[in-house]
Amino acid sequence: MANVIVIGAQWGDEGKGKITDLLSRSADVVVRSQGGVNAGHTIVVQGQIFKLHLIPSGILYSDTECIIGSGTVIDPQVVLEEIDQLEALGVSTKNLMIAQTAHVTMPYHRIIDRASEERRGDRKIGTTGRGIGPTYADKSERTGIRVIDLMDESDLRQKLEWTINYKNVILEKLYNLSPLEPEAVIQEYLGYAKRLRSYVVDSSLKIYEAIEKRKNILFEGAQGTLLDLDHGTYPYVTSSSPIAGGACVGAGIGPTAIDRVIGVAKAYTTRVGEGPFPSELDDEIGQLLCDIGAEFGTTTGRRRRCGWFDAVIGRYAVRINGLDCLAITKLDVLDSVDEIKVCVAYELDGTTCDHLPSNASQFARCKPIYKTMPGWKQPTTHCRSLDDLPKQALDYLKFLAELMKVPIAIVSLGASRDQTIIVEDPIHGPKRALLDANGTPLLGDKLPVTSE
């Protein structure tokens, strides 16, 4: 039995969907612990593309229970759209469960999100405009609507009539926008409640019962470490806690229930939205990474900013999350690059800085200090073991392991399930490293991943 957290070790979009999908084959339960429809996972199975925003990736396994936990914020319309799309593709959602205590994104959240971002002008954050921040803000202000409120018409009506009238003052007076009609919103969400009722559960209790039964539980994170509200590159962050500790809070379990934490990082670095990005490439190499890596957001379709691997933020992610091991994704995107650079430290105001500055203005002044390595100039998408990798590619992975001081357990070489090298299965496999502390490969038994 193992309870494993999968988190993003960069600014999100690291390929967590594929890694979660791979590990879900060994999981009895998959839990989504935070975030909302601002997250997106793209999974490719036998050429079929699945794009999920709220429903956990484990839904593609018919015998896996999938729980949307209390720390998430639910957009009922999106959840129902995903349910309908999955069912239309022959994927059952009978094992899907939604936390009764999760907060609900309302129409006024989306409107205020977009209006607020527009009002910021040059100081915009880069929000998706899906209402996530305002939903979490209402949660903290204790004026939010929870899933359980949707299940009781009188309770929902009482809360929404007051809240919408309050929000209308903000819409009209602050943003000069048209007010919402309370009754129309109430009826819309009662309609959602009717369809969602069979999925609603006490999620914390369900997870605790699974732990008692010694089931394998996979906790699926959204966004990435550097977008954490407390520990990310504030203010250019999300509104929840995508780090490992946040998974415990969002799921409603204690930290002693967790056995492993795996961080997912690309073989290079990307970022969506605003904020400093020391290793960003504003040249033909950056464009090449974007084109080959198809670096466009699952949720927004926005182009991702691309740059070399940043080991400074990588080491920070290891520390903040207590990572046991790493999954490196999109190694194949570097196949055609002549020379590959790795940011090993920053130059800040004339001095070397090997840690992430907490001060936003200092971080904006950081310049990358690079280590240059030779590229391998040959395709790797066919590789299924470490032995298949070009020497330069293996050297690159060894160097990343040395810099991060944590073993690499999974290497992804494409979007499909079978384009993966797994030596250590974080759920069933022993605690051994693909690469040891000195960067020496420990081949051991390889556990190939096959398409299903």
423: CB partners within 8 A, 6+ apart: 386, 409, 429, 434, 442, 443, 444, 445, 446, 447
Structure tokens at 305: 């900013």
Pure H helices in 293-407: 311-321, 360-365, 391-404
d(CA 39, CA 52): 8
Distance between CA atoms of residues 116 and 175, nearest Å: 8
Q: For residue 430, is the peptide bond before it cis, meaning its omega torsion is within 30 degrees of 0?
A: no
Q: Show the tokens assigned to 56.
A: 């956990």
Nearest-angstrom CA–CA distance, 309 and 334:
11
Tokens of 29: 């339960």
DSSP 309: E
Cα(29)–Cα(61) distance, integer angstroms: 10
| β-sheet bridge partners, residue 351 | 348
Of 130, 129, 163, 172, nearest to 144 (Cα)?
163
Structure-block tokens of residue 415: 């979007």
The count of residues in the chain is 452
**Pure H helices in 89-131:** 107-120
* E-state strands within 152-304: 200-201, 217-220, 260-266, 269-271
By annotation, the residues acting in catalysis are: 13, 41
Task: Determine how β-strand 325-329 pairs with β-strand 351-353.
Answer: unpaired
Compute the distance between CA of residue 348 and CA of residue 433 in angstroms, rounded to an integer.
34
Cβ atoms 186, 156 nearer than 8 A: yes
